[in-house]
Amino acid sequence: MPDLCSMYNVEAIRAEFPILQQTVHGRPLVYLDNAATTQKPRSVIQAIVNHYENNNSNVHRGNHTLSQRATDAFEATRGKLQRHLNAAFEHEIIYTTGTTGAINLVAHGFRSLLGPGDEVLVSQLEHHSNLVPWQMLAQHSGATLRYIPILPDGSLDLDEAQRLINPKTKLLAFNHISNALGTVNPVKQLTDWAHAVGACVLVDGAQGMAHRRVDVQALGVDFYTASAHKMYAPTGIGLLYGKTEWLEKLPPYQGGGEMIATVTMAHSTYAPLPFKFEAGTPSIEAVVGWGAAMDWVTALGMDALMAHESELMAYGTEQLTAIDGLVLFGTTADKAAVLSFGFAKVHPYD
Ligand code: PMP
């Protein structure tokens, strides 16, 4: 990898993305759909190729050299993620299929913890992944789902949030950064309010981990989720961070290999964390690629990355607002680099 950290050299960084070296419709490819998924730098692609060419094997279940190498790489990524998020323990990082998989894991586990009279609070600013699992939980448990409304600038109505959080609230779920409007939500504030009534807090960090420094212990959240593909890593892999006491309390999500300690015809016992929640053969090459992506992000530096994004954001906002008839959605002061806009009477497909 070239020296990218000494200076934020956009051309050098761009050159590290093989996909950006093509032309589309006769012009150099410009890709702006990073909220949906990011492109992958060469080092991530090479890590996956290296895994398949040299180390491919299953993890945690072979004594041979290849299995040892694959397991070491697989677990090394967990360590990098723990340090990146400042989780207290490596076992608090659970590999999932992504943010959607992580939220479903928690929502499913809460089926046995909630009942009629309990309330689950989410915001109106959620991705479907942080909404539908809670609707399903409400249906199965008899708990009531409530919503924090949004103000015209795209921020959450915090007065209403404070009013809605009450002793019946058992779980509060909201996003760190909205993929639709870029709103950066006050995670610590909302978490403190929820904890004051004994509620559990899950933060959908699909965009948060990619665009901000995240310290799960400083924020105090009980669960934080992320999708690797939003931060230069492969698809099909993500994480659930959970405080140990909550991960111990939740039942396993799926049964199968890897997640068991003992199995008889009558009964099984479960493996310790994190493996209790990692049934079946995982996406090993994706985890290996994620490790390389974490190295990439570390080399660039989160601060440099955020500073560059905010520069682009200011430039983009200025350019777009100069266009007659264009309406920007999401205008909060603390906003991540997403620009949503519309024109009166013009459909986005046009
Ligand atoms: N939440 C937010 C805020 C997102 O931006 C996304 C992806 N667009 C998701 C959840 C779902 O992530 P995934 O599809 O990777 O599970």
Cα of 166 from ligand 1 centre, angstroms = 28
Residue in the block written with tokens 């992000």? 297
* Beta-bridge mates of residue 201: 172
Asked whether residue 95 is domain-assigned, the answer is yes
Nearest atom (ligand 1) to Cα of 229: 15
Best probe residue, ligand 1, of 34, 178, 207 (max atoms within 8 Å of C-beta): 207
Q: Dihedral angle at the C-alpha atoms of 81, 84, 90, 94, nearest 10 degrees?
A: -40
What pLDDT, on a 0 to 100 scale, did the predictor assign at position 344? 80
Interval between CA 202 and ligand 1 midpoint (Å):
14
Distance CA 102, CA 93 (A): 11
Q: SS3 sequence, the chain?
A: CCCCCCCCCHHHHHHCCHHHHCEECCEECCCCCCCCCCCCCHHHHHHHHHHHHHHCCCCCCCCCHHHHHHHHHHHHHHHHHHHHHCCCCHHHEEEECCHHHHHHHHHHHHHHCCCCCCEEEEECCCCHHHCHHHHHHHHHHCCEEEEECECCCCCECHHHHHHHCCCCEEEEEEECECCCCCEECCHHHHHHHHHHCCCEEEEECCCHHHHCCCCHHHHCCCEEEEEHHHHCCCCCCEEEEECHHHHHHCCCCCCCCCCEEEECCCCEEECCCCHHHCCCCCCHHHHHHHHHHHHHHHHHCHHHHHHHHHHHHHHHHHHHHCCCCEEEECCCCCECCCCEEEECCECCCC
Q: For the residues 7-16, what does the mean pLDDT come to?
A: 88
Q: Which residues contact 157 (CB under 8 A, 6 or more apart)?
A: 148, 149, 150, 151
Q: Are 301 and 254 in contact (CB under 8 A)?
A: no
Distance CA 19, CA 144 (A): 46
Is residue 324 in a domain? no
CA–centroid distance, residue 203 to ligand 1 (Å): 12
Classify residue 1: in a domain, yes or no. Answer: no
Atom of ligand 1 nearest to the CA of 227: 15
308-349 per-position pLDDT tens digit: 999 999 999 999 999 999 999 999 988 999 999 998 888 888
Return the exposure string of 50-77: e unless at least 16 CB atoms fall within 10 Å of the residue's CB, then b. Answer: bbeeebebbbbeeeeeebebbbebbeeb
Distance 133 CA to ligand 1 centre (A): 13
pLDDT, tens digit, for every residue of 153-189? 999 999 999 999 999 999 999 999 999 999 999 999 9
The response to whether residue 213 sits with its C-beta less than 6 Å from ligand 1 reads no
Which residues make beta-bridge pairs with 172? 121, 201
Query: What CATH number does residue 187 fall under?
Result: 3.40.640.10
pLDDT digits (tens, 9 = 90+) for 81-136: 999 999 999 999 999 999 999 999 999 999 999 999 999 999 999 999 999 999 99
Q: Is residue 342 part of a domain?
A: no
Contact 191, 201 (CB under 8 A): yes
Residue 207 Cα to ligand 1 middle (Å): 7
Q: Ligand 1: distance of its center to the CA of 266 in Å?
A: 39
Nearest atom within ligand 1 for CA of residue 176: 3
Query: Is residue 120 domain-resident?
Result: yes
What is the atom index within ligand 1 of the atom nearest the CA of 99? 16
- Checking if the pLDDT of 5 tops 80, the result is no
The residue whose CA is least distant from atom 5 of ligand 1 is 179
183 lines ligand 1 (CB under 6 A): no
- The C-alpha angle with vertex 72 and arms to 69 and 74, in degrees rounded to 5, equals 105
Q: How many domains does the chain have?
A: 1
If one residue of 99, 123, 214 were mutated to test the ligand 1 pocket, choosing by the most ligand atoms within 8 A of its CB, it would be 99
For the question of whether the overall pTM of this predicted structure is more than 0.75, the answer is yes
Is the residue at 307 inside a domain?
A: no
Residues of the domain holding 141: 48-297
- Work out which ligand 1 atom sits closest to the CA atom of 177: 3
What pLDDT, in 10s, does the model give residues 208-263? 999 999 999 999 999 999 999 999 999 999 999 999 999 999 999 999 999 999 99
Which residues lie closer than 8 Å to 94 by C-beta, 6 or more apart?
102, 105, 239, 240, 241, 242, 247, 273, 274, 277, 278
**Pocket lining: 97 vs ligand 1, CB cutoff 6 Å:** no
CA 33 / ligand 1 centre spacing (Å)? 13
CA of 99 to the centre of ligand 1 (A): 6
Residue 223 counted as domain residue: yes
Q: How far apart are CA 64 and CA 73, in angstroms?
A: 15
Confirm whether 39 is domain-assigned: no
Hey, which of 97, 179, 187, 212 would you mutate to test ligand 1's pocket, going by the most ligand atoms within 8 Å of its Cβ? 179
Q: Which ligand 1 atom minimizes the distance to the CA of 129?
A: 10
